[in-house]
Amino acid sequence: MNYRIDNLQYCNWSREIFEINHQAKLDAVHATICYHEDFDELQKNINTWNDYFRKNDDLIFLGKTSKDIEQAQLKNKTAIFYGLQNCSPIEDNIDYVETLKNQGVMFMQLTYNNQSLLATGCYEERDSGITRMGKEVIKEMNRVKMIIDMSHSAEFSTLEAIEISEEPIVVSHANPLFWHKGLRNKSDDILKALNDSGGMIGFSLYPHHLKDASNCSLQSFCQMIAETTKRISIKQIGIGSDLCIRHPDSIVEWMRNGTWTKTKDFGEGSASNAGFPPQPSWFEDARGFDNLEKGLQEVGFSVDETHDILGNNWYNFYRKFD
Amino acid sequence: MNYRIDNLQYCNWSREIFEINHQAKLDAVHATICYHEDFDELQKNINTWNDYFRKNDDLIFLGKTSKDIEQAQLKNKTAIFYGLQNCSPIEDNIDYVETLKNQGVMFMQLTYNNQSLLATGCYEERDSGITRMGKEVIKEMNRVKMIIDMSHSAEFSTLEAIEISEEPIVVSHANPLFWHKGLRNKSDDILKALNDSGGMIGFSLYPHHLKDASNCSLQSFCQMIAETTKRISIKQIGIGSDLCIRHPDSIVEWMRNGTWTKTKDFGEGSASNAGFPPQPSWFEDARGFDNLEKGLQEVGFSVDETHDILGNNWYNFYRKFD
């Protein structure tokens, strides 16, 4: 059995998006349900998702374990796995880790772009690694089987999270630094540490993470994946597209600025390129998985390897947290 | 006119405490109203204080400017100035700085013992200094004239806060490291930076900050103050007693552990010495200011210098934030 999994999307969710993901034959999507929200604000987002599930139960349902990925395929639906791009919902209360896991939160980033109570984000000038609370929270996430995601975290914090965690961790959506010097892309040291610890990286299709940005070619992207398999096992890579489609630009401004600053921050963009960048033509939405399937085979991956990269590896990784 | 000011207390507030502070002839007290609380939880503490003010209006009132210190002396009352030992009440929302200043919050520590969203606490293994949000919040605190307090912050964070802030900052309650190697006591570098920037340090009477702890002698304490004036101007020192009297030991456990850990942390204490330590016999409560007045003169301070140390310096510092 082969599975197709997009291990990171933050689209402007609607029936249209769920239909696109269905057409893309996605068995599972890791959906971001938080950037800056605290615990109470997250509850509102979960209520909104309950509404999506009620109104679109022919297309989606809440996934909690790898069995739900199997069920999704059997039922021709997409399992939605909740993930947080920030630890803000646990506030300073370690008990909320278990509360949120019980509500279906499968992934939590220890930081978004800034310093959090747990670790350092990739936009900070200095990186002090995992904090005292961070060490406690990693233990607790290991205990309740919530997956640690360091996609937006700084280098040393990421390496230290890998070292401290007794379970493998993920970089759900980023690319290797050797290919494109994006602030969020990951070093060879991180790829090696992920490899050695059984972790995963999901390749991102967000233009700021791509060589040549929106003009990145399918071939360049797939060759990057081939090159990456020299650094991390072909069984430990997948896709985390970071698709943010159908959002107005005000959303990317909120993602970057939240309520933490009175000075506008442009993140990976700039004053003259402040909005969401256009997706590459071969990955305008999740239906681009079909292009990835062809592209990967064209750069030399076998059919089985292609299936592993497009979902089986994520499926096998999820199984470790059942 | 001479003023007596205790620039840090966190007592188990009651009419008895307000009477003691009145007997101690304190014109002003900087009262801690937060250790771990978020914005909503702080509102409850402020409501509790409103109740204290209503029921004890013959003894205390809320102070907001240096004029209230003058009024306190004229009316034979104690002005209470609010301070936060943590930035937790502003959460990740910079707008709350102004909101809280308008509610009477005069002081805010950028961290308690742990890493915060703004800076590093003195208990962390590594210190990355002022964060991106921290830099924004310092600007905002400067703008609304809220005083930055680094009593519980780590070395580099403290030095960087002094450098970044356009207003002088304080260490409201700590002692110099040269006298006692407490984790919270401050280095000569910090004393020098405070001196050069117009900042203040308030000497603490909390036994974990004292040489010989609860057995510290009045003479040793006063000699330490004399020695400190070789490092920082005699016009930039005061008292921040850190009195925590009448609390059950469960409170110090909460101060140390909040809700951030499932492993018990003993802070400056230890498993065998987990509770509040006994106060030195000559400073069991604020009435010990009378002993300080004698002790300071016995080690050679003049009457005027003694008044400066016991309150006039704080009064002059407050005036800068009117």
- pLDDT tens-digit profile of B27-81? 999 999 999 999 999 999 999 999 999 999 999 999 999 999 999 999 999 999 9
Contacts of B95 in chain A (CB under 8 A): 259
How confident is the model over B9-17, as a mean pLDDT? 98
B85 touching chain A per CB within 8 A: no
Chain A residues whose beta carbon lies within 8 Å of the beta carbon of residue B124:
128, 131-132
For tokens 């605190």, name the residue.
B141
B16 to each of A3, A169, B12, B247, how far by Cα in Å? 69, 54, 10, 13
Percent of chain A at pLDDT > 70 equals 100
**Sign of the CA dihedral B78, B320, B242, B294?**
negative
Max Cα-Cα span within chain A: 51
- d(Cα B76, Cα B70) in Å, to the nearest integer? 10
Residues A123, A113 contacting (CB under 8 angstroms): yes
Is a pLDDT exceeding 90 seen at residue A268? Answer: no
Q: Is the pTM of this model over 0.90?
A: yes
SS (H, E, C) chain A: CCCCEEEEECCCCCHHHHHHHHHCCCCEEEEEEECCCCHHHHHHHHHHHHHHHHHCCCCEEECCCHHHHHHHHHHCCEEEEEEECCCHHHCCCCHHHHHHHHCCEEEEECCCCCCCCCCCECCCCCCCCCCHHHHHHHHHHHHHCCEEECCCECHHHHHHHHHHCCCCCEECCCCECCCCCCCCCECHHHHHHHHHHCCEEEECCCHHHCCCHHHCCHHHHHHHHHHHCCCCCHHHEEECCCECCCCCHHHHHHHHHCCCCCCCCCCCCECCECCCCCCCHHHCCHHHHHHHHHHHHHCCCCHHHHHHHHHHHHHHHHHCCC
User: Is B260's CB within 8 Å of A120's CB?
Assistant: no
Q: What are B81's strand-pairing partners?
A: B30
pLDDT in tens, B142-156: 999 999 999 999 999
| Tally of CB atoms within 10 A around A273 | 12
pLDDT in tens, A32-66: 999 999 999 999 999 999 999 999 999 999 999 99
Looking at the complex, report in whole angstroms how far the Cα of residue B254 sits from the nearest Cα belonging to chain A. Answer: 13
- Name the burial class of residue A114, with classes exposed (0-12), middle (13-18) and buried (19+) by CB atoms within 10 angstroms of its CB: buried
Q: Which residues of B touch A260 (CB under 8 A)?
A: 92-94, 117, 132-133, 136
Q: Are the C-beta atoms of A160 and A129 separated by less than 8 Å? A: yes
Question: What's the pLDDT score for residue A23?
Answer: 98
Nearest by CB to A131, which of B91, B115, B262?
Answer: B115
Q: How many CB pairs below 8 A link A and B? A: 100
Closest alpha carbon to A35 in A99, A98, A111, A94: A111
Q: What is the ipTM of this complex?
A: 0.95
Q: Which of B92, B134, B261 sits opposite A258 (nearest CB)?
A: B92
Question: What does DSSP assign to residue B10?
Answer: -
- Cα-Cα-Cα-Cα dihedral sign, residues B113, B116, B118, B123: positive
The average pLDDT across B110-126 equals: 98
- Name the minimum distance, in Å, from the CA of B208 to any CA of chain A: 21
Q: Which tens digit of pLDDT belongs to each residue from B208-240?
A: 999 999 999 999 999 999 999 999 999 999 999
List A62's β-bridge partners, or say none. Answer: A80
In the block, which residue shows the tokens 């950028």?
B110
Least CA distance to B40: which residue of chain A? A40
Mean pLDDT of all residues in chain A?
Answer: 97
Give the nearest chain B residue to A37 (CA atoms).
B92
Q: What does DSSP assign to residue B279?
A: P
A245 CB-near residues (< 8 Å, 6+ apart): A11, A12, A17, A279, A284, A285
Which residues in chain B are closer than 8 Å to A94, comparing Cβ atoms?
Answer: 259-262
State which residue of chain A sits closest to B92, comparing Cα positions: A260
Q: How far apart are CA A218 and CA A211, in angstroms?
A: 11
Residue A98 touches partner B, C-beta closer than 8 Å? no
Q: Does B181 touch chain A (CB under 8 A)?
A: no
Look at residues B101, B64, B80 and name the one whose alpha carbon lies nearest to residue B17. Answer: B80
pLDDT tens for each residue of B191-212: 999 999 999 999 999 999 999 9
Q: Does A263 touch chain B (CB under 8 A)?
A: yes
Q: Which residue of B has its CA nearest to A123?
A: B132
Report d(CA B61, CA A252) in Å as an integer. 46
Q: Is the dihedral of CA B229, B234, B236, B240 positive or negative?
A: positive
Distance CA A134, CA B32 (A): 26
Work out the number of other CB atoms within 10 angstroms of the CB of residue A16. 13
Contacts (Cβ under 8 Å, ≥6 apart) of B170: B7, B107, B147, B148, B149, B150, B151, B194, B199, B200, B201, B202, B317
DSSP summary character for residue B163: H
Which CA distances in Å does A183 have to A126, A174, A226, A267, B253? 14, 10, 22, 9, 41
Q: What is the pLDDT of residues B245-270, one digit of tens each?
A: 999 999 999 999 999 999 999 988 89
A73-104 pLDDT, tens digit each: 999 999 999 999 999 999 999 999 999 999 99
Q: Pick from A38, A115, A133: which is nearest to B91 by CB?
A: A38
Please give the structure tokens belonging to residue B104: 């009477």
pLDDT for the residue numbered B268:
86
Residues of chain B above pLDDT 70, percent? 100
Contact: B128, A133; criterion CB under 8 Å? no
pLDDT of res. B277:
94
In angstroms, the CA B119 to CA B107 distance is: 16
Is the dihedral angle over the CA atoms B268, B270, B274, B279 positive or is it negative? negative
With a CB cutoff of 8 Å and minimum separation 6, the contacts of A31 are: A9, A10, A13, A49, A80, A81, A82, A83
Beta partners for residue A147, in sequence order: A107
A-facing residues of B in 184-223 (CB < 8 A) are none
Do the bridges between strand A237-239 and strand B5-9 make them parallel or antiparallel, or are there none, so unpaired?
unpaired
Domains within chain B, CATH numbers bracketed: 5-319 (3.20.20.140)
Q: For A160-178, how does the pLDDT look when each residue is reduced to its tens digit (9 = 90+)?
A: 999 999 999 999 999 999 9
Cβ distance A132 to B115 less than 8 Å, yes or no, reads yes
Distance CA B14, CA A210 (A): 62
B89 touches chain A (CB under 8 A): no
The predicted-structure confidence for B100-116, as pLDDT tens digits, reads as follows 999 999 999 999 999 99
Question: Which letter, b or e, does each residue of B138-175 get, where b requires 16 or more Cβ atoms within 10 Å of its Cβ?
Answer: bbbbbeeebbbbbbbbbbbbbbbbbebbebbbbbbbbb
In chain B, residues 232-261 whose CB comes closer than 8 Å to chain A: 258-261
What is the structure's pLDDT at B239?
98
How much is the mean pLDDT over chain B? 97
DSSP-derived secondary structure letter, B147: E
Which residues in chain A are contacts of B38 at CB distance < 8 A? 38, 91-92
Minimal CA–CA distance to A133: which of B222, B279, B125? B125
Of A36, A93, A265, the CB nearest to B259: A93
Show residues of chain A in contact with B134, CB under 8 Å: 115
Name the band, by pLDDT with cuts 50, 70 and 90, for residue A157: very high
The answer to whether B260 contacts A127, with C-beta atoms less than 8 Å apart, is: no
What is the mean pLDDT of the segment spanning A290-295?
Answer: 98
The helix/strand/coil state of B203 is strand
- On whether any CB of chain A is under 8 Å from the CB of B160, the answer is no
Token reading at A246: 């159908």
Tell me, yes or no, if A41 comes closer than 8 A to chain B by beta carbon: no
Paired strand residues for B147: B107
**What are the structure tokens assigned to B110, written together?**
């950028």
Amino acid at A319: R
Q: Is the Cβ pair A131, B139 closer than 8 Å?
A: no
Does the beta-carbon distance from B260 to A132 stay under 8 Å?
A: yes
What does the alpha-carbon distance between residue B69 and residue B64 come to, in Å, rounded to a whole number? 9
**Average pLDDT value for residue range B82-108:** 98
Q: Does A114 touch chain B (CB under 8 A)?
A: yes
Q: In this structure, are residues A212 and A282 in contact, taking their beta carbons and an 8 Å threshold? A: no
Q: What is the dihedral of CA A161, A163, A164, A170, to 10 degrees?
A: 40
**Candidates B95, B124, B136; nearest CB to A132:** B124
Cross-chain Cβ contact B114/A95 below 8 Å: no
Which secondary-structure segment (H or E) carries B170?
strand B170-171
- Are A84 and A108 in contact by the 8 Å Cβ rule? The answer is yes
Among B110, B113, B151, B145, CA closest to B131: B110
Q: Residue B261's Cα: distance from chain center in Å?
A: 25
Instruction: Answer whether A132 sits within 8 Å of B263, measured CB to CB.
Output: no
Query: What is the distance between the alpha carbons of residues B107 and B99, in angstroms, rounded to a whole number?
Result: 13
